[in-house]
Amino acid sequence: VYVPIQLHLMALPGVRFDDVKYVTSHPIAIRQCVDFIDEYPHLKIVESNDTAACAKRIRDEQLTDTVAIANTLAAQLYGLDVLERRIESNKLNFTRFLILTTHENNKKKGPANKASLCFQVNNEVGALAKVLNIFCHENVNMSKIQSMPVLGKRNEYNFYVDIEWEEAKQYDNAIRQILKYTHNFNILGEYQRYIEDDAPKPQVKPDSTKRYITVKKIE
């Protein structure tokens, strides 16, 4: 499931942006709004571990000099006014969520053509290359790869990989072969590949780009 990232600037009711000194949010949300924040260098950034928690803190402590970056639900939940909508730099950015189930009572569009894998390889020359070459030989597309250190073990990594295929036998052949060169191998899930045309389109109203604040940029 792909959910569009939509971030807004919010504050206590009646707060004027001219009086704001601090902007608070999760570090990732702040980075996603860097273009907007760069327009107002006088604002001091305060990082937090949760976007909604920032909105709650403004409400609980009645902070009149602070704005939060969060979604509309946080603004509604904590009674904040949205000063500026859609301040994220990339308007087509999405967060991907996986729906996990232990039963078959789910709607499937068709056979799986994508999988998420996790595995480790030996710490030696060409170990990972052997796995990648198998994907190539079996015409399996690797759409993502990410490495994470194995806790407590030096120079060892878990590799998280997303792969896609057109025919099931390509996937089956690849899995059988890479088992020879990996350990702690797990299939995290098999599912239908995301198709661009099926993506949720951001709902942009005609007036959604208007500027709600009129602070001049401070050089």
pLDDT band at 3 (very low <50, low <70, confident <90, very high): confident
Position 108 scores a pLDDT of 62
Which CATH superfamily, name and number, covers 2-96?
Answer: Periplasmic binding protein-like II (3.40.190.10)
The DSSP bridge partners found for residue 141 are 164
CA–CA gap between residue 14 and residue 121 (Å, rounded): 57
Distance of CA 172 to the CA centre of its chain: 30
Classify the phi-psi angles of 218: left when phi > 0, otherwise alpha if psi is within -120 to 50, otherwise beta.
beta
With a cut of 50, say whether residue 206 has pLDDT above it: no
**Per-domain boundaries in the chain:** 2-96, 114-191
Measured between alpha carbons, how far is 43 from 56 in angstroms, rounded to an integer?
20
End-to-end CA distance of the chain: 42
Burial 22-60 (b: 16+ CB within 10 A, else e): ebbbbeebbebbeebbeeeeebeeeebeebbbbbbbbbe
Which of 61-65, 110-114, 157-161, 179-183 has the lowest average pLDDT?
110-114
Lowest mean pLDDT: which of 25-29, 99-103, 130-134, 141-145? 99-103
Higher pLDDT, 37 or 206: 37
Angle subtended at Cα 43 by Cα 202 and Cα 85, rounded to the nearest 5 degrees:
20
For residues 74-78, give the mean pLDDT: 97
Could you name the CATH architecture of 114-191?
2-Layer Sandwich (3.30)
pLDDT score for 215 = 37
Question: b/e per residue, 128-150, with b = 16+ CB within 10 A?
Answer: beebeebbeebebeeeeeeeeee
Tell me the pTM: 0.62
118 with 190: CB under 8 angstroms? no
- Over residues 187-202, the mean pLDDT reads 71
pLDDT mean over 59-85: 97
- pLDDT given for residue 99 in this prediction: 72
Query: What is the structure's pLDDT at 93?
Result: 84
Contact 143, 162 (CB under 8 A): yes
* pLDDT of amino acid 207: 41
Higher pLDDT, 23 or 96: 23
Q: Do strands 8-11 and 66-70 pair parallel, antiparallel, or not at all (unpaired)?
A: antiparallel
**Element of type H or E holding 51:** helix 51-61
What distance in Å separates the CA atoms of residue 203 and residue 198, rounded to the nearest whole number? 15
